[in-house]
Amino acid sequence: MQYRRIIIFLCLVFSLVEVKAQLSFLSKIDSFPGEAAEMIPLPEGFLFFSGYPATVSDTVFSLTRFDKCGTLDWQRVFRTGTDQFNSFSKPEAILDRNNELFVLLSDLAEESKGYNLVKLDLNGAIIWSYYLHGVENSPGSKGNILYNNFRDTIVLTLNNEDGFTSVVRIDKDGSFIDQKEISGFRHHSSNMDNQGNIILLGDTAVVKLNSFLDLEWAKRLNGTSFFVQQNKPVIRATGQIHAVVVDTFGMDLDSFYYSMVSIDKNGDLQYSTDRIRGRDFGDIELLQTGTNNFVFLDRSLATTVDNLTRSIKKQTDYAFCEDTVAFCSSTMNLCMDNSLLFGGFYYDHPDSVTFYQGKTDPSLNLNCKEKNINPLDTIVASELTLDSIHFELNDYAFLQDTLVFQFIHFSPSGQEFPCFNAIVKKEDNEQKPCPCEVISVGVTWLKSAEYLWNTGATSNSIQVDTSGIYVVDVNLCGTEQRSTIKVDYKALTSCLSFADDSPLCPGIPTSLKVIHNYDNLLKTKWFDGTDNDSTSVFKAGQYLVDLEACGWKDQFVFDITYKSIEEEECIPVKIPNAFIPSSTTYEDNKVFKIYTQLDISAFKKFSMVIFDRWGEKVYETEDPFMGWDGTFRNSEMPPGAYLYNISYELDLGGEIYVESKNGQLLLVK
């Protein structure tokens, strides 16, 4: 067959079955016959595809939409009007970046008729449908549909009438772009990496095509291993490929072992994990359940693999579930009927194991919200935690969410039924921010929950900038909880720091400072009318500063004290008794002058007069910071004793201090 001749298939029509019923967290879908399903997460809720077996007359597949709480919005059953194509089953679906759906149906009958590609909108209306001829007189095989987000195109990987793989690129209107046939290669499954490259797995070969369908490489596994049928490889952003292989012993396949292999971006085998004996030879599903954890599902046996140690961590046996769905959470394992759906909380990559198998058609229509539990029923209540992980680009970055449920298991009339009630925790708290801070207050984000604040906001958190009582009502699909958050802004002074140098010696200015991180938002007004972050005072007392920021007003009082002038360290003027004009060691001692901590403004009057031994005046100054260098009339004076008279009047913070001193000094050569 030439895939360039894609024939439009117009006879696919659908009938609509409208269903309006509030489902519990564990909900029953009566009309599902139980074939393998495909689930597509939506921003609000999800879509559920289910194929139909050939025994169901002229029915191809059904599409059901649920809202975020598991309410069954609608269900559409698609029929052909003829039994010619009723062997289409196991739909595979993708959702593009414009929220358009593309479904690929594979004919798995003993005599394959081909594939059907259908484009639908989110209301289940068919936009177009293409029929692609299959292989005459040969068993059918499942094709894959892949979406290239970079080029916004659809890629189909199919096995053609010659038994070889054809990779077909089409645009979203269904127009043919190009194709690539890989002679001598028949694929089991395929996947696309985050660069648009295509990885195909055959029996023992792995092939990589680039986004233009050019062959990058083709490699083959050595030994007795071969890739498992329908195992979709996991491809990381680094290009590393993970897949499940099987080793068989004996022609009747009664003894076989599974293991996971890691293949690098060049197609070379890096390693394989420990082997584990399989139970039911057939399709295997591989899931990445953590940064380095994987689980592969062999129908009723789940095997957890540690990718770092390459060892088997554990196995969970679901054989006891028989015809029911095996469901494993963080806290328990349980079985549920295959027609029951965990509505509203489907995750694409759960770290617990959820899968569907078998076919059931229970007669009871269970709705946990409407069920009146008989006191005579056997009731077991416990708490169930469902952890879930969202991977980005199938690589190391992931987001983990946790949902907690009250799990009630009751047994009426000898039949067992489980019910789930979501647990929403009360999250009352109190916060004390600083003025000007805009803070976020909120409660834990829960998937599918609705939030309503007394401010009118509808998110799980809000921004606030004033004190008050903030109340949020949380409704998680019928489970309600109210949380109250009290916001009490601190006084402005509690968010500032205040510093001063007190106590100092009299006459020395004391610096008063307001220390903060408010930049220009803080306004200050000191007792003296200044508006800087600091000021200075010269005497003891209490000093007030007014503060304002973002509408908050406050005051702070500095309590300043001074030491006594009688203390040795606070003597205002000290006079040396000798000096050495020619000194090269003591620079400060080359001039005879007073020593003081005071500023020049403290000296109201000052006089220093120096006489020689005969009473002749050799130096005089009224500047307290000037001194005698030992010369008179430009000539150096001889060493010896000289007399001084030093008098001064000081203003020490408003107190006047007057003193006059006479003494002898020694000029040393």
Amino acid residing at 434: C
Is residue 584, in this structure, part of any structural domain at all?
yes
Identify the H or E element spanning 440.
Answer: strand 439-442
Residue pair 151/198 in contact (Cβ under 8 Å)? The answer is no
Provide CB contacts within 8 A for 413, sequence distance 6+: none
Q: Are 461 and 452 in contact (CB under 8 A)?
A: no
Q: Are 640 and 504 in the same domain?
A: no
Residue-wise pLDDT for 185-237, tens only, equals: 988 889 998 889 999 998 889 999 999 999 999 998 877 788 876 667 888 87
Sign of the alpha-carbon torsion through 458, 459, 461, 465: negative
User: Is 37 within a domain?
Assistant: yes
CA distance readout (Å), 255 to 88, 258, 279, 300 = 31, 11, 9, 17
Question: Which pair of structure tokens corresponds to residue 585?
Answer: 């060691």
Q: Domain check: are 516 and 457 in the same one? A: no
Q: Name, in order, each residue with C-beta under 8 angstroms of 274's C-beta and a sequence gap of 6 or more.
A: 259, 310, 311, 312
Structure-token match 């430009």, residue found: 634
Digit-coded pLDDT (tens) for 462-499: 999 999 999 999 988 778 899 999 999 999 999 999 99
What is the domain count for the chain? 4
| 471: containing domain | 429-487
Whole-prediction pTM value? 0.61
pLDDT at residue 174 greater than cutoff 60: yes
Q: Read off the DSSP letter of residue 85.
A: G
Q: Per-residue pLDDT averaged across 609-619, rounded?
A: 94
Q: Is residue 405 part of a domain?
A: no
Residues 25 and 110 in one domain: yes
Residue-level pLDDT at 501: 87
Task: Indicate which CATH number applies to the domain containing 519.
Answer: 2.60.40
**How high is the pLDDT of residue 352?**
30
Residues 6+ apart with CB under 8 A from 435: 489, 490, 492, 495, 549, 550, 551, 552
d(C-alpha 147, C-alpha 95), whole Å: 8
Q: Where is the domain boundary, 133, 153, 187?
A: 187
The burial class, CB within 10 Å (0-12 / 13-18 / 19+), for 419 is buried
Q: Enumerate the β-bridge partners of residue 170.
A: 154, 176
Residue 71 lies inside a defined structural domain of this protein: yes
Least confident of 22-31, 34-43, 430-439, 458-467: 22-31
Clarify whether residues 481 and 589 are in a common domain: no
Q: Based on the number of CB atoms within 10 Å of its own CB, is 116 exposed (0-12), middle (13-18) or buried (19 or more)?
A: buried
DSSP codes of every residue in 265-302: TTS-EEEE---EE-SS-S--EEEE-SSSEEEEEETTEE
Domain identity same for 483 and 507: no
Stretch (H or E) spanning 333: strand 333-336
